[in-house]
């Protein structure tokens, strides 16, 4: 037998052997010192691995979650391929549960009380978004402000979402929506097969957002260019990404996409300032913003560079493109699957439009569409576009009587269980818009459960605009189109790419609406 193969570590040390295991022959040429340093390295590695487990177990304490974490990577594999089933298992394992990814200790909060507590405790926890978000949005973007600075900055932006401002946007939204729905019909005419609306709905959304934000200060070809690149941003929003934005990586591509968007948004800000200085009437969000800053009664900061304005608009695009597309796509799917609900939407459209489908929509008409509003609310309750928002504990956070989230841990409030609580929403998996029509019903009486747009100081700033836009697209579609759902084995499975989509992209066929 080859002696080196059966040698033991002990034979190279003065101490009595603690372990004895065979050394492979490729190690034979190693000198005693080399073995000693190898032994030391292995011992250090082993200690680190033990330490990793000890720290994980110390932080986790009694919370549900794996007893041991997978060395170094933790649940990285799960975060690469997120699935509703795995998330649901985690949420149902306890109101608070623990998980670790790349040694980032994460506390998941699934109950309504804990989710709201995290969202409403700014002195303990702040949003941290996914790691790539800072590279894409740029670290100086306002969305990363915290505390008083965040409150003040945000106060200035509220002017962009007032009822008066939203009224200006309705006309832009409707014109773009009609143009896209007409194009959907033309595409269908050329190809009678069902098509997934995943990308076409995203395109409609992108052009609407850019139209609302920038009006005629952004040309259509720029909106198309931004739309073409934007998918790179969506794809880069994974929980963990390769840390360096090297060419070829997803984050690198997303940064290139941001540069294209920023170029056009800066130009739009510049043009808006000139148009308003020349006494033009406000026709988009930028114009509203420029005018509000010039108002003598306006108290906040008055000077914003073109780049700063563009970064704010880009943050809106970033926050809305995926979430709104998800909301819209499920809106189409729910209405296709529930013809009785679509029929009621149409009855309401008839009433509000007084039978005149060519009449342009306005804010008063949108307000009268109470059934449609219930449809939109219910659609996003059943299929919340955003399942959870990552926050970070800025210091030790005593979240319950018997558990304190360790400082610097991630703490993730999830919305699904709140939105599917059978006590508040009986038959929680069913799509029942009527539940919102009774002001005394449990859905209306428990607004704290409706976490679709979050809660607290970072609650979605665009929530009314978002709901109105989804309603407006469905209203317009209901009067212009008939559509059918081509149900596949993946229609009711979820694909999670930043937000939630039907796994098959929602395959629909469209026809011009036939009026009875």
- Residue among 313, 322, 301, 268 at smallest CA distance from 141: 313
Inter-residue contact 203 to 177 (CB < 8 Å): no
Among 82, 94, 428, 456, binds ligand HEM (CB under 6 A): 456
Among 88, 131, 154, 420, binds ligand HEM (CB under 6 A): 154
Among 105, 124, 314, 465, binds ligand HEM (CB under 6 A): 465
Stretch that binds ligand HEM, among 93-101, 341-349, 361-369, 448-456 (CB under 6 A): 448-456
Nearer to ligand HEM, 139 or 489 (CB): 139
For residue 107, give the H/E element and its range.
strand 104-109
Inter-residue contact 433 to 471 (CB < 8 Å): no
Q: Does 156 bind ligand HEM (CB under 6 A)?
A: no
CB of 113: closest distance to ligand HEM in angstroms? Answer: 15
CA separation (Å) from 444 to 240, 440, 462?
Answer: 38, 7, 21
Compute how many residues bind ligand HEM; rule: CB under 6 A.
26
CA separation (Å) from 274 to 268, 269, 286, 291, 311?
Answer: 10, 9, 11, 11, 19
Binding residues: 460
CA torsion through residues 322, 324, 325, 331, sign: positive
CB of 61: closest distance to ligand HEM in angstroms? Answer: 26
| Residue where the block lists tokens 């209405």 | 335
Q: Does 460 bind ligand HEM (CB under 6 A)?
A: yes
- Residue among 360, 396, 386 at smallest CA distance from 451: 386
Closest residue by beta carbon to ligand HEM = 454
Binding residues for heme: 460
| Residue where the block lists tokens 């919305």 | 415
Q: Does 237 bind ligand HEM (CB under 6 A)?
A: no
Stretch 370-409: interaction string toward ligand HEM, x if CB under 6 A: ---------------xx--x--------------------
Among 315, 409, 417, 494, binds ligand HEM (CB under 6 A): 315
In the numeric block, which tokens belong to residue 215? Answer: 């009006």
CB of 405: closest distance to ligand HEM in angstroms? Answer: 16
Stretch 101-130: interaction string toward ligand HEM, x if CB under 6 A: ------------------x-------x---
CB of 77: closest distance to ligand HEM in angstroms? Answer: 26
Inter-residue contact 317 to 143 (CB < 8 Å): no
CA separation (Å) from 421 to 184, 319, 382, 427, 440?
Answer: 37, 26, 11, 9, 17
**What is the contact surface with ligand HEM in residues (CB under 6 A)?**
119, 127, 143, 154, 315-316, 319-320, 323-324, 327, 385-386, 389, 452-456, 458-462, 465-466
């Amino acid at each position: 037998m080859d002696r080196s193969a059966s040698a033991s570590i002990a034979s190279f040390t003065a101490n009595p052997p603690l372990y004895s295991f065979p050394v492979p022959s490729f190690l034979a040429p190693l000198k005693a010192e080399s073995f000693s340093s190898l032994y030391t390295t292995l011992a250090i590695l082993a200690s680190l691995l033990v330490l990793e487990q000890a720290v994980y177990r110390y932080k986790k304490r009694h919370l549900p979650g794996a007893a041991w974490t997978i060395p170094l990577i933790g649940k990285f594999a799960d975060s690469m391929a997120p699935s509703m089933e795995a998330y649901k298992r985690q949420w149902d394992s306890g109101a608070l549960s623990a998980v670790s990814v790349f040694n980032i200790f994460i506390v998941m909060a699934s109950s309504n009380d804990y989710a709201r507590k995290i969202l409403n405790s700014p002195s303990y926890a702040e949003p941290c978004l996914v790691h790539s978000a800072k590279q894409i949005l740029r670290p100086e973007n306002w969305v990363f402000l915290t505390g008083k600075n965040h409150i003040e900055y945000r106060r200035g932006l509220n002017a962009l979402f007032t009822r008066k401002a939203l009224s200006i946007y309705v006309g832009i939204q409707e014109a773009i929506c009609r143009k896209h729905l007409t194009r959907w019909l033309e595409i269908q005419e050329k190809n009678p097969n069902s098509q997934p609306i995943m990308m076409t709905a995203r395109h409609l959304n992108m052009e609407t957002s850019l139209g609302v934000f920038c009006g005629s200060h952004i040309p259509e070809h720029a909106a198309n260019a931004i739309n073409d690149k934007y998918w790179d941003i969506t794809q880069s929003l994974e929980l963990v990404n390769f840390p360096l934005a090297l060419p070829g990586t997803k984050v690198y591509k997303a940064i290139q996409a941001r540069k294209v968007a920023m170029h056009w948004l800066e130009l739009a800000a510049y043009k808006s300032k000139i148009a308003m200085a020349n006494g033009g009437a406000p026709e988009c969000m930028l114009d509203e913003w420029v005018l509000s800053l010039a108002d003598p009664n306006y108290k906040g900061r008055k000077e914003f560079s073109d780049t700063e304005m563009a970064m704010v608009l880009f943050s809106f695009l970033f926050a809305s493109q995926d979430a709104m597309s998800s909301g819209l796509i499920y809106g189409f799917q729910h209405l296709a699957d529930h013809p009785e609900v679509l029929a009621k939407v149409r009855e309401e459209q008839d009433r509000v439009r007084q039978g005149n489908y060519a009449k342009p929509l306005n804010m008063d008409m949108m307000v009268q569409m109470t059934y449609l509003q219930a449809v939109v609310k219910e659609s996003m309750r059943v299929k919340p576009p955003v399942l959870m928002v990552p926050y970070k504990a800025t210091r030790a956070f005593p979240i319950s009587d018997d558990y304190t989230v360790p400082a610097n841990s991630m703490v993730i409030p999830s919305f699904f269980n709140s939105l599917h609580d059978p006590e508040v929403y009986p038959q929680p998996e069913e799509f029942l818009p009527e539940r919102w029509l009774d002001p005394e019903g449990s859905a209306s009486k428990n607004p704290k459960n409706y976490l679709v747009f979050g809660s607290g100081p970072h609650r979605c700033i665009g929530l009314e605009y978002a709901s109105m836009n989804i309603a407006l697209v469905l209203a317009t579609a209901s009067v212009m189109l008939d559509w059918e759902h081509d149900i596949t084995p993946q229609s009711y499975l979820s694909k999670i790419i930043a937000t939630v989509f039907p796994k098959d992209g929602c395959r629909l066929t469209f026809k011009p609406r036939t009026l009875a």
